Structure 1
Amino acid sequence: MHRSILYVEDDILFGETIEEFLIQSGYEVVWVRSFEAAMQESYQREYDLFLLDIKLPDGDGVAILESFRKNNINTPTIFLTSKQDALKQSFREGADDFLTKPVDLEELLLRIEAVMRRAGKSQKFQIGDVTCDLESLTLQKGDETYILQSKEAKLLELLWQRRGKVVSKEEIFEELWSDADPSDGALRVYIARLKNIFGKERISNIRGVGYRLEA
């Protein structure tokens, strides 16, 4: 399953940009535009992350978070705001992070992943038709279940975190073999197996440099 985000933002153009980017990055996004809609939606289901604007036409994001926390909804929360004077209050209510507008999209993605990682919610993700669960070291593709070795799981996590970008072999060696001599042969075996599972088009070999995951 895709990780889910409840996104609260009343600015249509800004909201469309963020929603499209997060969906392309592999998230399920439910976008609402008001305090009332956010409150209604939050009690319909559980989310992996709340992404909140502070200033809304019928209230503000800090009040939303205050209500969530009073009702023991402890979902990780990031604010996107241009209203600096409310940030201290937002952290008192239990916010995990914030970004000021205009938002750098790559920074937003990194902060979301960091917050989810701290909350223990970053171990499951979707790549194409494969559900990845790094906590249990399993990949599910239709009726097939694949068990990963620990180094394969570390390699997949690194490629996922840097998806769309080239990860150098040096970075991979440092991550997978920090306590031992790196094995180029073993790396090729891991890459070949991941390609067999995800499809050769998903993982590109950048000759002489490294590998890139297209998620």
Structure 2
Amino acid sequence: MKKKILLLEDDILLAQTLEDLLISENYDVSLVTTGNEAIDKTYDEKFDLYVFDINVPDITGLELLESLRDANDNTPTIFISALVDIQSISKAFKVGAEDYIKKPFFPEELLIRINAKLLPKQTNIIYKNIEYNSNTKLLKIDGHIKSIGEVQERLLELFLNNLNQVLDKDILLECLDKPSPTALRVAITKLKQTTGLNIINVRGVGYSLE
């Protein structure tokens, strides 16, 4: 599911540039240009992140966030502002911001900050000569990238996260698109051939990676 961002920015050119960039990165963006519009949006929808300019019509970004925090809305917030005085920056963090970017800035800088907050942290699993990233689904064997199918990916991740444990067949069957004992045997055989993993059949129970 796409992460939802509420973007409050009254500079239309900058707002559209940021909106286009974030949409291209698969974020769901709601763009508003006034404080009141932002308030209405927060009533109607739940967001994963707020990106607020400070000097906007109706109600400032600072006042807006302070009101949201008072209403127990703890959505992570990034301010983007031309205000560079220490008082404004201090106020931004005091009312509950997690980050503050001074204008002008490269749109990609905002994207980096957003990704750091919203994207899951990469998790590498290393086992013998195998390196597998459970977020990107990137598999390396002996340092070389290897492509495997989605079913094998699911099985691989399950085995790597449960080393030396016997996995019940019913759990493994959930990894298959069309579950059956025969399909499971075929999928595990293919996984062993592709990766060289020592997956043991524990008769009558399931399988184990040792």
* TM-score, L = length of structure 2: 0.61
Aligned 8 A contact 2:120 2:135 in 1: no
Instruction: Write the distance in 1 (CA, Å) between the matches of 2:131 and 2:96.
Output: 34
- 1:184 Cα deviation from its structure 2 partner: 3.2
In the other structure, the counterpart of 2:132 is 151
Instruction: Write the distance in 2 (CA, Å) between the matches of 1:155 and 1:5.
Output: 22
**Relative to structure 1, is the Cα distance of residues 65 and 105 closer, same or farther in structure 2, using a 3 angstrom cutoff?**
same
**What stretches of structure 1 of length at least 5 have no aligned partner?**
117-121, 125-133, 136-148, 160-171, 174-181, 198-215
In the other structure, the counterpart of 2:100 is 98
Which gives a bigger RCO, structure 1 or 2 (Cα 8 Å, sep 6+)? Answer: 1
State the Cα deviation string for residues 121-156 of structure 1 (Å, max 9, x = none).
Answer: x339xxxxxxxxx99xxxxxxxxxxxxx99241444
Q: Name which one, 1 or 2, has greater alpha-carbon Rg.
A: 2
2:53 matched to 1:53?
A: yes
In the alignment of these two chains, the number of paired residues is: 144
Aligned 8 A contact 2:8 2:34 in 1: yes
Q: Give 3-state SS (helix, strand or coil) of 1:123's partner.
A: coil
- 1:98 Cα deviation from its structure 2 partner: 1.3
Letter in 1 for 2:114: I
Letter in 1 for 2:100: F
Instruction: Write the distance in 1 (CA, Å) between the matches of 2:54 and 2:64.
Output: 9
Q: What is the correspondence of 1:31-46 to structure 2 with a 5 Å cutoff?
A: 31-46=31-46
Letter in 1 for 2:132: K
Q: Give 3-state SS (helix, strand or coil) of 1:6's partner.
A: strand
Tell me the percent identity: 35
Aligned 8 A contact 1:96 1:115 in 2: no
In the other structure, the counterpart of 1:112 is 114
* TM-score, L = length of structure 1: 0.60
Instruction: Write the distance in 1 (CA, Å) between the matches of 2:16 and 2:64.
Output: 21
